[in-house]
Structures are given as C-alpha cells and as structure tokens.
Amino acid sequence: MKSVLFFLYFLILQVSGQSTVVVTTTSGQLHGTELDGEISFKGVRFGQAPVGGLRWQPPVAFVSAGAHNATVLAPACVQQFSFASSEFTQFLFNNPPPASEDEDCLFLNVWAPSKSKQGKKPVVFWLFGGGLIFGTASLPLYDGASLAANQDIVVVTINYRTNIFGFPGSRDLPITQNNLGFFDQELALEWVQLNVAQFGGDPTKVTIMGQSAGAASVGLAIVRDRVNTPFRAGIKLPGGDTFSSSIPSFSSFDAFAETVGCTQTPGPARLNCLKSVPTSNIRNFTNGPLSGSFGPITDNITVFTNPLERIRAGSSAKVPIMIGNMENDGSTFAFGLTNLTAFLEGEGIAISPDLVRSLYPGQNDSLVISDALRDVGARCPDELWSATVTGAGVSSVFRYTYGAVFADLQKFPGAGAWHSSELGPLFGTFDRSTATPAEVTWSATFQTAVANFIKDPDTSPAVNWPKYVPGPSAKTFAKLAYNGNVKPDNFVDPVASTSLDGPCDVLWDQFLDFTAE
C-alpha cells in the first residue's frame, strides 16, 4: 500500500510541473522534488523517534537504507505557549502555525540549487527561536526556497526538542543529560557533515545561523570548543547569552510529576512512570495555568556559567561572526507596560527608576521599558560578545542594528523594527501581496548581505560595512536600513558603538558581565 501511495504522490508532482529527485543519505534514499532549478527535501528524519523509552534521552541517529518520501514538512515538536500570554505570543510568532505537533519530531529540511549547477555550495544551518519552549523548522516563515535559489547556497532547517521535552530540568536524569534540545542540534549538525555534499553543499563551509533562542544556541555552540568544529562561522540574529546560573532548578519538573500522579522519589522509578504519561497530557500541563518554566541548566558540556570567560580564556571556537539586534527588540515584550517603577519592582530589579529614565531621555515609561528590554536582552549582550570575541583574536566580526520598518509588518501599535520582523525579509517569505516596492527591495538587499557573509565570512558583506572594532573612535557599528535606506549601496550607515551603547556602558553591562575587568 505504501508503494502505491508513493507512486500516486509523485505522479501528482509531475502533473504540477515538479519532477522527482533522489538523493542517497544516511537517512536513506530521499525522494524530493525539483522545480525551476532548485531541489528540496522536507521532513527528513535525522534522529530516531524520542518517544517511549527514548523520551528524555539523548537523541539517537536515524540510519536507513530504505526509500523515504521527502516532500512534506514534518510535525513540529510539542509546543509550549505560556498560559498568560499564549494568545498574543501565538499571534506574533506562530501565525500561521505548523500543520501538526508530535513528540516524534527530529526532522530537518534541505533546499539547494539543482545539482546540475557547478561547484560545492556554502551551507547555512538554521536554528529557530521561541525561547526554547516553542518554534519549529516547519513554519512557512522558514521556507528556504528563496534564500537557496536567489543566493546559490544550501539551506538546512531543523527541529529540536523544546520546553519540558527538550529541557526538562529533572533530578531523574544526570545533570549532563538535561539539555536534550542542544544535543538534537548537534546531532543534526553531524548529519549535515555526513550528508550535505549529496545536495551539492560543502561541509567545510557551514555557517550556523539562529534568531532569538536560536541565536543563543549559536552562541553556546561557539562557546563549546571542540576538535573539528562542524561549522566555520556563526550568525547571531537578536538573542543574548552572557551568563547562566550555576544552580539548577528542578521545581517545575517536580511540580509536573506531582500533577500527573508520579509521586515516587526522583529516580528511575519516577522516570519510568513519567515516560508512560501520554504526550497530550504533558502538553495540557505545560500549556496550562499551573505550568512552570523549562529551560537549559548549566552542565558544563552544552551550557557554561560564564560564556564570555570561556571566550576570554581561549576555550571557544574562533570563528567569524555576524551579530546584531533590532532597533525595537523590546517592543513585543513591553506591550501593555506603562509604569517603569512597577515594572522594575515586578522584575526584582533594585535600580532607581529615575536612573533608568535618565538613560533614555525624552521618552515616556512605555518607551523606556521597551528600550531597556532591548538593551538588556540584545544590544548589550551583543556589545559584550563583539568586544570579547574581538579581544580573543577573532578578526572578522560584523555587528549591526536593524532599523527597517514596513507598514504591513506592524502587528501592533508602536511595534517598529520588532523582535523577529527581519525573518520574512531574510527568508523572502514576507507577504508580497501587501509589501511595498521598498520592502521587496529590502528583502533582496538584506538576504544578499547575509548570504555574502555565509559565502565568505572574512570579507565585508556589503558596501560600507566594516569589520567591528570596539571603542569610541571607530565607526564600525552598522545601522541597517534606517531612514528608509534599503538599496545595496546605501543601506549601511556605520556609526561609533558608543553612540548607541551608552545605556549598556553606564548601567546594564554590570549585570550581564560579572567578571570583566
């Protein structure tokens, strides 16, 4: 029956103008599609299903010699949307949502120029954002067709486990086996090294790129030094990572175990009980009003207490990086907040509201909160990262701040260049029916600049975009697409970093970098 369905499916593809293409990989013979000089393979299994006895276990590579349909996006890993903000979060970041969710979700997708095109292509390996609690490579937003076709590169997007499934914070597991989502990412990178040449990609020219939690994942991958680093460069779209608590918290997982009736002492018996809980019951808990928070813990394998110190000590991978923030990275997280004093008290921040206001003169409390969140969450970590890797001997660092604003992307009042609004232009997946000509131009401009770095991370990705030099004297902090400048020859405005990093230098850096001299 399966072979009949296979035949019928590919007959439909041929009628639609697409042809089939077969690539042999460690995951089997993948039957993908070819259209207009581009090949695509979707829903490629790289890890065995992490279910049953493999729930909350490090991923196991999937190896096959069989034939597999690689024309349909796979389910997302099980998602968590915090109960209090679920509706707004999904409106912004999960719209439209993936077709389905499943605990069996370790799949990836590949888009590439047709193999008939000469030469091995640079590769970009994409890690989605979502706070490590939601997100998937199966979102239409991350379709790699435009990026691969327009820029002559291979695009790989992957799923990794999130929330309680990927970062349980469990005493039932060894400390070193709690950050399962990061192990998923590393297994997918291994798959790329083994197989990307079959798609026309060059395994020695892999750039890892991520946004938000994906950017933090990129940073952590760089910080983990290894013998044979499986990438040569990194791109960190907004997402800071400068420290992690050395004290793990197990309270959320313990509360979950109690709620679902697994009341044994933490250990093998409780873990076996929890492995029998239906996936739907777990999702109901994590998306309900009593759920706690799930995220990475410091294990000194995938996550370290002080990444910046590891870089300073020469214990990290010395690779070129592109790193940047959105001008309005804080607007989504500040939505509805109007009182700075109440905000600081609610966050447990013992800082005078007047001191914070003085760093953002002429702005009301709503804008102060928004800009402070931008700085603490993105711009200041970027400043610290850029200075630290440069000081450690990385000669090619390209730092930017993104200012492009388009009316059809304004999902709420005052959004501006909000957190993740660059992704549609980058992937070329923005709504062309509502986009202005300037937005279309900007997509091509921004996409090309990022792809230029992927192709040659040691060379300026655009006209007038210099390598970053910390300090007040050099104008090397690239403002991108401010004031409506969206063309290849005018979108970069290099300024001194001190012109934008003032609040970081005066206040926020001391909370983000505990060991800088």
Q: Which residues are annotated as catalytic?
A: 212
Cα–Cα–Cα angle for 171, 177, 183, rounded to 5 degrees: 145
Query: Quick count: other Cβ atoms within 10 Å of Cβ 176?
Result: 13
Contacts (Cβ under 8 Å, ≥6 apart) of 125? 156, 158, 188, 189, 192, 206, 207, 208, 209, 231
Please report which helix (H) or strand (E) contains residue 13, including its range: helix 2-15
Q: How far apart are CA 356 and CA 363, in angstroms?
A: 11
CB distance 200 to 121 below 8 Å: yes
The CA distance from 96 to 76, in Å, is: 13
How far from each other are the two terminal CA atoms of the chain, in whole angstroms? 67
Q: Are 162 and 181 in contact (CB under 8 A)?
A: yes
Query: Is the CB of residue 151 less than 8 Å from the CB of residue 447?
Result: yes
DSSP 453-471: HHH-TTS-SSTT-PPP--S
Q: What share of the chain is helix, strand, coil (3-state, %, to 5)?
A: 35, 15, 45
3-state secondary structure 19-71: EEEEEEECCEEEEEEEECCEEEEEEEECECCCCHHHCCCCCCECCCCCEEECE
Cα–Cα distances in Å, from 416 out to 17, 117, 141?
A: 40, 40, 19
Phi, psi of 150 (to 5 degrees): -75, -30
Nearest of 303, 295, 301, 267 to residue 171 by alpha carbon: 267
What distance in Å separates the CA atoms of residue 146 and residue 426, rounded to the nearest whole number?
Answer: 9
Burial of 293 (0-12, 13-18, 19+ CB in 10 A): middle
